[in-house]
Chains A and B, each alone.
Chain A
Amino acid sequence: MAHKQSLDAVVFAGAGQEVGKSCVVVTINGKRIMFDCGMHMAYNDHRQYPDFSRISKSCDFNNAIDCIVITHFHLDHIGALPYFTEICGYNGPIYMTYPTRALAPIMLEDYRKVLVDRRGEVEQFTSDHIAECMKKVIAVDLKQTVQVDKDLQIRAYYAGHVLGAAMFYAKVGDSAMVYTGDYNMTPDRHLGAARIDRLQLDLLITENGSFGFWIKVLYDYASSYGPKANEPRENLFPEAKTGSLGSSFKRSTYATTVRDSKYAREREFLKAVHKCVAGGGKVLIPAFALGRAQELCILLDDYWERMNLRVPIYFSAGLTIQANMYYKMLISWTSQKVKETYNAFDFKNVHNFDRSLIDAPGPCVLFATPGMLTGGFSLEVFKHWAPSEMNLITLPGYCLAGTIGNKLMSGNPTIELEGTKIDVRCQIHQLAFSPHTDGKGIMDLVKFLSPQHVILVHGEKPKMATLKERIQSELGIKCCDPANNESVCIPSTHYVKAGASDAFIRSCLNPNFQFLKSGSEEKSVSGSKCTEGTLPLWIKDERVAEGILVLEKSEKAKVVHQDELLLMLGEKRHEVQFAYCCPVNVDELEKFTTTSLTPTARMLRDPNKSSLIRLLVAKLSRKLSEGNIQDFGEHLQVESFHLSVCLKDTCPYRITNGLEDKPRTAFFCCTWSAADDKLARKIISAMENRDLVET
């Protein structure tokens, strides 16, 4: 019935050692899902893409993979997708959220253009490829449960990070897993924090922290700037191979207390901008089209409203305005605060920028791509504005070595650009970046989900090792950080399915009260207050499901209540009981009881039943640790053990010989069912004054 099933995860790319591409293929109970299909920005040869041949030797990807799931639109998560669908020929379903579906083509097209138009490289895929690839995409909503096929179910959860970023839940049969992609556990200005249900998971694959952030840096850089066609790109990314990219950047602005410092940084930024425009200067904000620009723009537009400023804010290329259009339509994917105002991306003070406005007099604020002044329009504007002291240029908190941004940050007064020297006199403001998920965020998520296993991907090696250690020691969850192309196999949850009868389910839900005297075992719990005599009663209601699983030929297994089984069989129950008429020396009994009453002795030949029972109860309750002794006056009961005073001269159950003649002997007739045999024997030996330990 229960055949062996498992969960296999192969990290194709983006494992601990490597920068810049994510691709994990997981096989759950025979269903194969590819999470993300990212590209590596540092290479321009085959290493750019994940090694797809490992998925299927015959390159029959349609049969090898059941579906592809893309978490968000960044190139390290989607870059290889057009290549995989159009050139490798994958035709199966691809799932991504609506915003990702809308914004991914922009990212891909932009990247393609950079490659081909600016660098003159041979393109890996064409515009048509992107369009064709996108046609295969099925857009999903958050929390929408999508039935990929009969057995495979996927669902997206909000991940923050960028617009439309999602964590994906996948379930096949009884096994379930979550792949997080990149996520933010703290909200930023326009996106909320990651949200997920408490799920029963076998496996959680999580990206590992701020590393994702450095990759974004890479993007902004590589998508607009890069080596000349024949220059090996590895040279530009020496860190890429060593996995220490993060450390090569200045991390001076990194904040540990995220919130406070974030607001402080924002205030600082606004103050700098305000001061500049108040003095009649121009502000240049080089930024990437998607995400960062919108966040800053919300900030500025809001500030403009509050301060009643009339200075125009411009967006440079069509792309950014276009991007705003997307943000407007996808407002429900932003944070709650932004959502409440319908026109958050309907910036009142924002206008399109025209080239002729570069040298127009008067103050203004301009958003221009690309972000690191690596070329294009932002560089062009920079050339015009940099020589004036009144102007301000805000730079991202990091700039790759060799870029203009980096040179500016290091305080170079003159920049040489294409042979001409530019005298930089303008002010420079360095914008800090808010970090992505940090160690705490990941720990929180892992703790919240409490999966059976965790796999860490996409992170710096030392950090991953620490985190792995923490997850294992603090949370007691198995954790691993496989290297590229290493396969991890995890046993999957499996349930045996059976039909359950109503009587069975009803019986399971019946209360099953147990009254325990807080005794020896629970001393620590009962505390100091409990003195002898005022022992609190412990009431336990642990409902135990007991039934019988019936397997009939060619029929589904069924769980029934035991009464139903007899009905099914057409048989009557035959009970097996024990009976024993137990002789007890009354003297012994009295000796044992502390409150020995003289009248009882006299009542020997005229035994008062209830007083005898009382004596017995007193004795038993001292000797027995378990069971709940119930005194009914005429008889006493412990579970199914039933005892009453036997007054018959010849009881059939009085088996032991030779005691009848002994004086002062009372007989107690006991019956019990086979289930309580152990307990009953204990009671009897206690009554017969045999040593309890012996039993």
Chain B
Amino acid sequence: MSVLRCKRQAIYVVTHRISENKNPQPFGSPESFKIRNRSGRSDLKQPDRFSLQLRKDGAEKYVNAKVEIPKSEINKRRLKRPNPRRQPAALGPRLSSFSRTGAAFIDRQPRQLPFFQPLLCLAWAKYQFYKSHTPCGSTCLCQGGGFNFPPCHILNVSGFHVLFDCPLDLSALTVFSPLPNDFYKAICKENSDSQNRQKVEKPLDANDLIFAEPWYKTVNNLHLWNVSFIDVVLISSPMGMLGLPFLTRMEGFSAKIYITEAAARIGQLMMEELICMNMEYRQFYGAEESSGPQWMKWEELELLPSALRKIALGEDGSELGGWMPLYSAAHVKDCISKVQTLRFGEEACYNGILIIKAFSSGLDIGACNWIISGAKGNIAYISGSNFASGHAMDFDYRAIQGSDLILYSDLSSLDSTEDIDQSSFSDDNNNWEELMNSLSNYDESVEEMEKLAFICSCAIDSVKAGGSVLIPINRVGVFLQLLEQIAIFMECSSLKIPIYIISSVAEELLAYTNTIPEWLCKQRQEKLFSGDPLFAHVKLIKEKKIHVFPAVHSPKLLMNWQEPCIVFSPHWSLRLGPTIHLLRRWSGDHNSLLVLENEVDAELAVLPFKPISMKVLQCSFLSGKKYSYPSFSFVCLFYCNSLFFCRLQKVQPLLKILQPKLVLFPEEWRTHVSFSDVTSFSVSHYSENETIHIPSLKESAELEIAADIASKFQWRMLKQKKLNITRLKGRLFVNHGKHQLLPENEPGGSSQTRPFLHWGSPDPENLLAELSKMGINGSVERCMTDAESEDGFTVKVQDPEKSMIEVRAAVTVISAADKNLASRIVKAMENILEGI
């Protein structure tokens, strides 16, 4: 088994491999355990570097130029490349202070924000840290970046290549300008571009953004793969599905895709919405030029400000190939038709060899962790997980118990700048109860509720002051909870402010989420049992407290519209959907409030809407990450921080409960989670674009032998080795991840009981003795003819019949005309040889 993670310099690495080895094996030699599938397909999989999706001339030029770099140069580069992870301050946008508590303040520089209003961004250091170097920058098979951009792995199990998640980096959309509200301006911009823009580093302004129909950034390193080599695709969250139509529409794609039912449905709605929102741009900019968009031309890219270029090209410029124009509705439909949906705990059997099961991860509705089991052990893939959530079913860690290998893919939910306190954790602490308790120690859903309450109170303050609140929809579960909470808050403060949900798929989404009790947390299931709707929105819509509209221009909305109001709408990148229009409307109102998730680079996201007087609240619902609203959140911050700290502490107790043999951890967490004093399992660290070879989990595959066969065993004791051995014969069935040995169809044909495998060296005296016991007499003649056989001899038998036994080092030849005599001689041989 091997895990591959690609570095950003994927191209170099692959080039290097190709030049070095005529028969490259990007996954290294697979471990000895392998059952060839019946089709006899080769396991050697060669990444085809020409399959890079770089059709645009600019990009091609670029890549070709880089491919030529010799090996020595690559190493040099690698060494030179500063590790951004270690220097968050250098890369984060104006990160002026970096506190030990894990909070960092972004200094606002008045010259950049001429109309200085409370745009105060407080971001978690980790966020900067992550974003600063994966600014949308992840390539194919990447580390990902938080909830919206889950990591992407390829795992080779029993010769099958399993791809985990196929996300889109939607935060990279920020390089595009939102839909201009006046056409003339856009035209002017396009024309004036080439002359006016020079490569001078100045603060970014809205005109630096790309004015074009947005393209979407896929996982770049995935394009290095020939898709036909992928056997299984496992999607662990709706977000991890957004890039899937790009994959499924490719020629040669034939992998089996497994997604949980809920994630597939929500993912589909998200994709449909994306298409709908993108349509606005297509209508505005018109059909695409056949030569590819202007902005992808090399000259244009050169002119981009460095911050944007980094997003567009990645750290080293290799990521341009990841950009794609959005798929169509037909592609989505086709993609969904290829998906096999699963329920939690349902066993899916791939090719009779792998059993694949999904278990709740608690991150979002339908989000899951995977367990892949074969005859040689179990592998658990843990994506971002949440121990207790207010919407999705809790992280089902008990199901993962007993896995041989755990692949921790995403620790963004277990996020901290603090190192774990080792003193609190020792290896001999094996009390089960205690461990369990330590995991459920802090109720994460309570914490989540507090965060929601905080946002609600901010929203209420805003509407009380006469402003409106804009909340871009991000995570489905959080969105639904927020709806409930805001309604409760409004009730409490007896406000009658309308809540609008403006989204093309909202109606379907809201209806769907009320029909999925099996996917929700315990509290919500209790609602089902007591006959209440799963989410309060059902009631709120009925009571006309919430209004759902498909678009900003729907006539019903225009008739209903009231301000101040609270609006939920897509998209969180602030580049798509109704959000743009509303943000333009309210950006000047200092009473209004915009709620952003921490996943977004707030500074860049709001750039085109400047000057902005609106308040911006940046928050995260992912466990561990907090809201930022410094003007009134210091107390909270402190409190949250302590919670935050224990989250990471959960990693070790968790692993203790799960009792794996081997754990794979991301390299960058090496310093945060130390396993120095853990002896019960071994730990490997992996980094992007690197293949890790995992030693065999089990020496041998489990074989089930039918009782019929077992009852016919004829045991033979080997004294000198203290072994019992018996011959075994049957038909092997590989079925449902198991190897079974069943009786042969026609047992009559093989009634042979004599051994066929012999070893040992016969001694002439013994042989003569044995022969005479059987009534056979002969004489030993040393064999002189053959030089090879020093210890060879020949027994000439005269009585009862003339025959000959020729004994050499590795072979005995019996020559007898009579078959009964021959078999008697064989019997005598068997008595002096060991055999089975």
Contacts and interface: CB of A to CB of B under 8 A. Distances in A.
A571 interface: yes
Interface in A517-551: 542-551
Nearest to A511: B40
B817 A553 contact: no
A499 B759 contact: no
B376 to A, nearest CB: 9
A675 B753 CA distance: 10
Given A174-B704, A578-B822, A677-B826, 11 more contacts: A332-B518, A342-B511, A495-B740, A496-B710, A499-B699, A500-B700, A548-B836, A573-B758, A574-B758, A574-B812, A674-B756
B74 interface: no
Nearest to B696: A502
B707 A495 contact: yes
A340 B317 CA distance: 46
Interface string A217-239: 00000000000000000000000
Interface in B339-364: 343-347, 357
A98 B518 contact: yes
B438 interface: no
Given A569-B718, A656-B817, A2 B701 contact: no
B393 to A, nearest CB: 10
B703 A497 contact: yes
A331 B516 CA distance: 8
Contacts of A498: 702-703, 705
A247 interface: no
18 contacts: A98-B517, A102-B531, A331-B515, A495-B740, A499-B699, A500-B702, A505-B732, A544-B730, A546-B727, A551-B725, A558-B700, A574-B760, A576-B826, A579-B806, A656-B817, A673-B756, A674-B756, A675-B756
Which 4 residue pairs spanning A and B have beta carbons closest together? A499-B700, A495-B704, A144-B345, A500-B703
B815 interface: yes
Interface of B: 32-36, 261, 343-347, 357, 375, 399, 508, 511-512, 514-518, 525, 528-529, 531-534, 698-707, 709-711, 713, 715, 718, 721-732, 739-741, 744-745, 752, 754, 756-762, 802-804, 806, 809-817, 819, 822-823, 826, 829-830, 833-834, 836
A609 to B, nearest CB: 22
A56 B600 CA distance: 62
Given A141-B343, A144-B345, A545 B834 contact: no
A24 B261 CA distance: 33
A174 B704 CA distance: 9
Interface centre among B529, B701, B760 (most CB of A within 10 A): B529
Nearest to A554: B722
B698 to A, nearest CB: 8
A102 B756 contact: no
Contacts of A101: 529
B198 to A, nearest CB: 55
A571 B760 contact: yes
Contact of A98 (B399, B528, B730, B732): B528
A573 B834 CA distance: 10
A139 B519 CA distance: 12
A142 interface: yes
A579 B815 contact: yes
A573 B757 contact: yes
A561 to B, nearest CB: 10
Contacts of A548: 725-728, 757, 836
B724 A497 contact: no
B518 A2 contact: no
A500 B739 contact: yes
B703 A499 contact: yes
Given A332-B516, A562-B757, A677 B819 contact: yes
A141 B344 contact: yes
B759 A571 contact: yes
B725 A544 contact: no
Nearest to A656: B817
Contacts of B724: 550-552
Contacts of B833: 574, 576
B528 to A, nearest CB: 5
B707 A493 contact: yes
Contact of A509 (B32, B36, B710): B36
Given A329-B514, A655-B816, A573 B343 contact: no
B550 to A, nearest CB: 15
Contacts of A558: 700
A330 B699 CA distance: 46
Contacts of A597: none
A348 interface: no
A140 to B, nearest CB: 8
Given A574-B760, A578-B814, A677-B822, A342 B512 contact: yes
A513 to B, nearest CB: 14
Contact of A496 (B347, B707, B731): B707
Interface stretch (A86-94, A320-328, A356-364, A379-387): A320-328
A546 B730 CA distance: 7
Interface string A562-591: 100110010111111111110000000000
Contacts of A144: 343-346
A329 B707 contact: no
A145 interface: yes
A502 B759 contact: no
Contacts of A102: 517, 528-529, 531
Interface string A126-155: 000000001000010111111100000000
B56 to A, nearest CB: 41
Interface centre among B754, B817, B834 (most CB of A within 10 A): B817
B811 A574 contact: yes
B529 A550 contact: no
Given A544-B729, A574-B758, A653-B815, A143 B343 contact: yes
A330 B515 contact: yes
A343 interface: yes
A130 to B, nearest CB: 12
Contacts of A105: 529
Nearest to A547: B728
Interface string A651-695: 011011100000000000001011101000100000000000000
B815 A145 contact: no
Contacts of B399: 147
A72 to B, nearest CB: 16
Contacts of A329: 514-515, 517, 528, 533-534
A417 interface: no
B475 to A, nearest CB: 21
Nearest to B342: A143
Given A105-B529, A577-B813, A571 B834 contact: yes
Contact of B728 (A342, A546, A553): A546
A143 B760 CA distance: 55
A501 B728 contact: no
A569 B703 contact: no
